Every structure is written in C-alpha cells, then in structure tokens.
Structure 1
Amino acid sequence: MVLITGMFWVGDGSLYTKVYYALFAAPALLGLVLAPQQIKPILHEPVLLSFLALSAWLLISMGWTQAEDGFSSLAKRPLYVFMLFAGCALIALKSESLLMKTLRIGAGLGALAALINVVWFLQHAAPGERLIGSGALRNPLLTSHVLGFLCTYWVAAWLSRSERHDWLPILMTLPLLAALLATGSRTPLMGLALTSAWMLLLSGKRAMVLVGALLVGAGTVYLAFPEILLQRGTSYRPELWSDAVRQAGEHLWLGAGYESKFEFNIPEIGYLLHDPHNVELAVLLELGLIGLGLWAVMYAFALLRCLRLRAKPQFQIASALLIYGLCAGLTEGGNYLSRPNESWFLIWIPLALLCALSIRHRQSQA
C-alpha cells in the first residue's frame, strides 16, 4: 500500500526508498527465510528467471562500466527489485484476493490524492505552470508515471468487469485523467491509447467503447487546448534517439556498462542531455544487444503469459499495467533499474504483479 501511494505523501524520494526497505523488502526477505519452501515455485517463473539472467549480465557489465557509484552500491539494485518480485509472490501465494484488493484500495487512495493535487493546482498554479504534485513527486514527467499507472488500473478494472459497480472505475479515473492533463505530459496519453488497443484482444466490445471515447476525448482536447498536444512538437525525441543509436553502435554487443554516463548533443536545444528518454535505448546503451535481448525475453514471457490467461480478470488488469508501462517507456523512463522511484510504476511493479499472479495460478494448477 505504501509503495503504491507513498509518492503522494512521503516527504522525499530518499524516505520513500527507506520505507520500501523497511515495510516491503525486509519482510519479503524474512518471509523467504521463514518459508524456504516458497522459493522453489518463485524460481520456476520464467519472467523472474529472465530478470535474474538480466541481473547477472548487468553485474558482469560492471567490469567495464564508467559508473560513478561503487560496485557494492549498484549491485544492490537488482536485489531491491527481486525483493519486490518475491514479496508480491508471497502475498499472492497466501491470498491472491488480498494482493488485488490492496492494489485496488491503493489505486483508490491514489485517485483521491490526484483530486487533492488537482484542486490545489487549480487554485495556486501560475499561468503555464505544470502539475508536479505533493510528497516525493519531483517533476511533471515523473509524476505522470505514477498517475498513468493508477489511471490504467481503473480503466483495466472497468474493461475486465472485475468491479461490482461499473460507475466506480469511471469515477476514479476522472481525477487521475485531469491530473495527467495538468502535468502536460503526452507520454501517458499515448500509453493509455496503446493500452486500450491491446485490451481489444482481451475484452472485446467494451474496449471498443473505450477506444471510441479516447478518440472523442483526444479530438475535444485538440479543439479546446491544442497546445497540450502540439505546443512542444516532438520534443527533439527523433534527434535524441538518433544520437543514442549512434553511441550504442560504438559498443553494440556488450554495452558501455551499467550506469555509464552519456551525453547527447542536440544543437537546437543548446545544452547537453543525459537521458535517452527511451527505456529500451537505455538498456541497449548500457548493456548492449545481449542485455536488450534478455530484456526482450523477459517481456516476451510476460506477454505470452498474459495472452494464455487473458480470460481471467486479474490477468487482464496486470497485462494492461504491463502494456502501459512498456508503451510509456518508449518516450520516457531511461532509468530502468534504480532504487524505488517513479520508474518502478512503469516497469517493475507491473512485472512483479504479473509474476505473482502467474506463480499463484501455477501453484493452484499443480
């Protein structure tokens, strides 16, 4: 619950990370120590095995990285993510409904936080200002990662018909969507559109209604506030990605090493950038084609699992969150493996949720 909602109310990112260690990572480790028999089903999950392979290659790449942080500090980061996988799996093995109810309540509290932030923003924001939000939220782009995750949950809950009342997901989506628009970020809007297209495979006619509503909404926004969609153009993404691909070619197979620093020079901007604004390009730059291949295998296993179990509402929700994060990561989220922060809402929380549900399903079928 704190992991899902804490960004809105924990004072800063450092405290948010420490709270995760205390309330999730440490109990997950203790759970594995007290119930070692649970390790076996967890390690039978292909997505998790792919992550462990990716982590092993990441640690190997530390042999040639130019990272500023020491090995011991960086080597802990895969462990933090593994504890997320393990903790979610332990909860699901105990009670899958508890895991999904906690996610639902957290998403509801997130919608309330979004409403409070939007009201405050409308009362105090200067003209042209973009919503950042309260708590540990730092800038509009990162804030949109959290809001987009929560908004996608409620959209998926409505599409999967997993809610008792159809009106509740719609009611919860409205403040989150308003907050997303207030951030001025277009990435979550693209992610939601592509996620809706994906959900056509899973929920049929109801997803067609959503796609139609999104088209109408996009047209309305374009007519009423065209600057939201057009003012910043492509934000120099094509030029940035072209330079990132060029630099990746210099160490194509092995990469420059985890947490290596890069500089991207886009003459039109006038200053250097350090983030490729694309998760897969960040993986390619640091871990090379080998690392990107392992990354692709991890997502391939996850998506195949979603498709095989697409009739189950909980997998429809997990797959929507997974697709949203994958699509949003195409234009944002270069920091793919970090301490707990906003990027986890695009990558690791959706993957951990899917793994937990998959492990639970496999155990129930055994």
Structure 2
Amino acid sequence: MLGIGVFWSIGGVFLTPTMKLYHTLLVLFVYLPALWLVISRPASLKQLLHERIEARLFLVLLVWAGLSLFWNGEPGEHLSRLKRLLLFCLLVCGWVLWARMSEQRLRGTMVVLGALNSLYSVAALLWLKPVFGRMSGFGGFLDNPNAAAYATGFVMLLALPLLPAMRSWRIGWLLLQIPPLIYVGLCASRGTLLGLMVVALFYLVFLAGRRGRWIALLVLAAGAMLAWLEPTLLARGDSGRFELLQSAWPILKEHFWIGLGYGAGYELHLWGRPTDMDVHNFLMHTAMQYGVPALLVWCWLWVALGLRAWRARHTQLGLSVLLLWVFASVAMQFDVFSLWERTRAMWLMPWVVVLLGLSLKVPTNSSAAEQN
C-alpha cells in the first residue's frame, strides 16, 4: 500500500485533475500506511536517526517550525499548521522507511515515474497548445508553465541515470527522455532551463563517462540554441526578482534570529508598489520565516545530502540524487519554494531530494555492483 503512496506522492502531481483528489489519496496511500509502518518498526526509525545526521537535522527544523507558531501572528491557523507539520513528518518517516527496505524496489518505482513523465510530455506536445508562447500542463498542479517545467525537468533528471540492465534497452530509455526535454524547452521556464544547464556543466566537469558527457554537451548546445532562437527568454529580464530580494532585506534584519514564524505573511515591493508575492528565493524565504540560525541548519542538512549523494554517485540511484541535488540547488534560487508547504509541483524541490537522499545507502567497494 505504501509503495503506491510513494509513487502517488510524485506521480500524482502529473495524474491528478484536482488538488483535493491528490490529498485524499495521500491520506489513503501515504499517511495511514506510514503511520502503521512507523508504529510497527520503531527500531528502524531509531536506526535511521542514529545513522543519519540529516534525519536529526530534519527533526530540529520540524520542531523549530512548530515552536515558531507561537510568534507568527496568526493564532487562528495554529492547529491546521501544526497538523500539516505532523502529517509531513509522518510522510517523510514512512516514505524513507519503505524506501530503505529495498533499494531495488525504490529504483523500480522511480523507473515507472520516468516512463510516466515521458508519456505525459508526449501527450502535452501532441494535444496542448502554447499560451502566450509558453506550454503548460493539463491542469491540476501543472496549470502554469513554471510548475510544469520544474516537475517535468525534475523527474527527467531522476530517470536519466536509471538505465536498464540490458544494453539493447538503454538507447530506448535515453530516447524516452527527449520528449520531456523538448517540453521543458517549450515551457520556457528560465529557472528550469538554467538548472538543467548547470547540471550538464557539473556533469562535464566533475563526473566521468563518455556517454554521459555527450548527453551533457547536447543539453548545453540545446540550451544555447534555444536562447538564440527565443530571444524573449532573455528579454524578460529578471521579472522583478532582484527588487523582491532588496525589499526583503529590511524584514530579514528585523527578524534575524527567530524569523516571522511558520506561515507568517509579509509584504514586499515590486516595481514601486506593495505586493503579496513571495520573495522567489528559497534561502531568503526560509531565513525570513524561521531566522538565520534555522537557515544555517537547513544548509547543513542540504550539504550533508549532497555529500552523501556524491559518495554514492557510482550507483544509478546515487547519481540520480546527485543530479537532482544540483538542479534543485539552482532552481530554488529563482521561484516559489518553501519549507513545510502542502505537497504540489514545487514540493518536489527540495523534499523529494531529501527523501531520496535519506533513502541512499553508500555502497562498499565489494557491494557496489550497480555501476553507471
């Protein structure tokens, strides 16, 4: 049952027509099975906390977010936000415990998600038309170009290293990743495109593998060609991102140590006018809501995950997590991502990276049989 929930937590972003249906099925296939798993396997949860500093840092952030409800200035929302935190903790614990039981089973689930992503992209390319020059999804979570591009690009990177064991199937698997790449390009999300190009550059510089380097070169060439063929990508400027960051600095200075509190709103200025827009930068948003010390804890957790993925880069799943980590590190600087939000397209970053990172086991020299 929880295996279906693991698939649905990511795949449901593509499949669900309404957010209500997505969250209803999360209760059925994730929260309830996760509760049973946590209750029935306390030793496994204790082992996870003992082995992984990232899990302990996650709990520190969770507890701090709960405490910050006392000063967030929205007492009417305390119970609902506390419930959201507890459900989020349940999802993370159940998801990771299930994944750590069998890495092969987790890998199989991710392969199915990669195939779903390719089919979704093909369907979008065939039946959807651009609006104002940009593609979107079929509705639901992917009803705008940025969400569609981030989700599709994210799952494409997740799937790309998961090559089949049979060599004859590998070319087909790589070809399956072409429709998502084209679809992302047509969505014209600059944060997604920049993230993909940084991943390609990272692979060229730091990772071995002639086949992978050719793919990285093709991605870089495709990105450069898209920027040349679509000058509007650069002509759109920074969309007010820099002004939003400047407007956020006074708020951060005023709430430097403990932040505004979980869920607290803030008012920024864009183009000289007040706006309720998010600051569009994950690190700044986190610091504003929870304080700079909490941001440093998050950075510690994030770096630890990156190091874990680097040490496991010779496995297919480890390489997937490493590429996602690089992609998310870039993408979170440019759009609306935040801690503890309800699951949606933007939820994939950073939390799926955290879930997969906590599920990784660094192979020993004798057991690293699954090579890229």
Q: Residues 5-54 of structure 1: CA distance to partner in whole angstroms, max 9, x if unpaired?
A: 21222121122122112101210110121222222222222111111001
* Native 8 Å contact 1:10 1:16 kept in 2: yes
Q: Which residue of 1 aligns with 2:33?
A: 27
Q: Percent identity?
A: 25
User: 1:222 offset after TM fit, Å?
Assistant: 2.4
Q: Which residue of 2 aligns with 1:118?
A: 125
Matched, 1:276 2:283: no
* Native 8 Å contact 1:81 1:348 kept in 2: no
Matched, 1:150 2:184: no
The aligned amino acid for 1:179 is Y
User: 1:204 offset after TM fit, Å?
Assistant: 4.8
Q: Give 5+ residue unaligned stretches, structure 2.
A: 1-6
Q: Residues 328-352 of structure 1: CA distance to partner in whole angstroms, max 9, x if unpaired?
A: 1110133332121112211111110
User: 1:202 offset after TM fit, Å?
Assistant: 3.6
Structure 1 residue matching 2:70: 3-state secondary structure: coil
Greater mean alpha carbon deviation, residues 208-217 or residues 238-247: 208-217
Q: Which residue of 1 aligns with 2:3?
A: none
125, 138, 145: which is aligned to 2:143? 138
The aligned amino acid for 1:149 is F
Q: Which residue of 2 aligns with 1:246?
A: 250
Q: Residues 295-335 of structure 1: CA distance to partner in whole angstroms, max 9, x if unpaired?
A: 11111211121222222222111121222122111101333
Distance in structure 2 (CA, Å) of the matches to 1:105 and 1:194: 26
Distance in structure 2 (CA, Å) of the matches to 1:139 and 1:49: 35
Structure 1 residue matching 2:296: 3-state secondary structure: helix
107, 130, 133: which is aligned to 1:128? 133
Equivalent residues in 2 for 1:1-366, closer than 5 Å: 1-44=7-50, 45-67=52-74, 70-122=77-129, 125-126=130-131, 128-157=133-162, 164=167, 165-199=169-203, 200-227=205-232, 229-267=233-271, 272-358=275-361
User: 1:163 offset after TM fit, Å?
Assistant: 7.4
Query: Structure 1 residues 336, 99: CA separation in 2 closer, same or farther (over 3 Å shift)?
Result: same
Q: Residues 29-85 of structure 1: CA distance to partner in whole angstroms, max 9, x if unpaired?
A: 101212222222222221111110011111111111124752121122333332333
Query: Structure 1 residues 142, 68: CA separation in 2 closer, same or farther (over 3 Å shift)?
Result: farther
* Native 8 Å contact 2:312 2:362 kept in 1: no
Distance in structure 2 (CA, Å) of the matches to 1:171 and 1:323: 23
Greater mean alpha carbon deviation, residues 128-137 or residues 11-20: 128-137
The aligned amino acid for 1:148 is G
Greater mean alpha carbon deviation, residues 12-21 or residues 193-202: 193-202
User: 1:87 offset after TM fit, Å?
Assistant: 2.4
* Native 8 Å contact 2:150 2:192 kept in 1: yes
User: 1:214 offset after TM fit, Å?
Assistant: 2.4
* Native 8 Å contact 2:66 2:82 kept in 1: yes
* Native 8 Å contact 2:118 2:179 kept in 1: yes
User: 1:149 offset after TM fit, Å?
Assistant: 1.0
User: 1:138 offset after TM fit, Å?
Assistant: 3.0
* Native 8 Å contact 2:280 2:333 kept in 1: yes
User: 1:215 offset after TM fit, Å?
Assistant: 2.6
Q: Which residue of 1 aligns with 2:4?
A: none
* Native 8 Å contact 1:322 1:350 kept in 2: yes
Q: TM-score, normalised by structure 1?
A: 0.89
User: 1:130 offset after TM fit, Å?
Assistant: 3.7
Structure 2 residue matching 1:62: 3-state secondary structure: helix
